[in-house]
Amino acid sequence: MKKLLITKWSWVIIVLFLITGLPAHGKDIIPKEPGVYIKAGKELKRLLPNIVFEDQQVIYIESNNPPRFILKDIEYFVISGKYDLNVLTLNPLIFFQPSPLGKHRYIFGKDIPFEMKKIKEDVYSIKPVGLIGRGYFSLWINDTAWDFILE
- Asked, for residue 8, whether it belongs to a domain, the answer is no
Domain count, the chain: 1
Structural domain that includes position 98: 26-150
Q: Rounded to two decimals, what is the model's pTM?
A: 0.78
Calpha distance 138→93 (Å, rounded)? 7
- Asked, for residue 119, whether it belongs to a domain, the answer is yes
- Asked, for residue 20, whether it belongs to a domain, the answer is no
CA-CA distances (angstroms) from residue 102 to 97, 99, 117, 130?
9, 5, 40, 35
- Asked, for residue 54, whether it belongs to a domain, the answer is yes
Over residues 99-144, the pLDDT tens digits come to 999 999 999 999 999 999 999 999 999 999 988 999 999 999 989 9
Q: DSSP state, 56? A: T
- Asked, for residue 53, whether it belongs to a domain, the answer is yes
- Asked, for residue 56, whether it belongs to a domain, the answer is yes
- Asked, for residue 116, whether it belongs to a domain, the answer is yes
**Phi and psi at residue 64, to the nearest 5°:** -130, 60
- Asked, for residue 3, whether it belongs to a domain, the answer is no
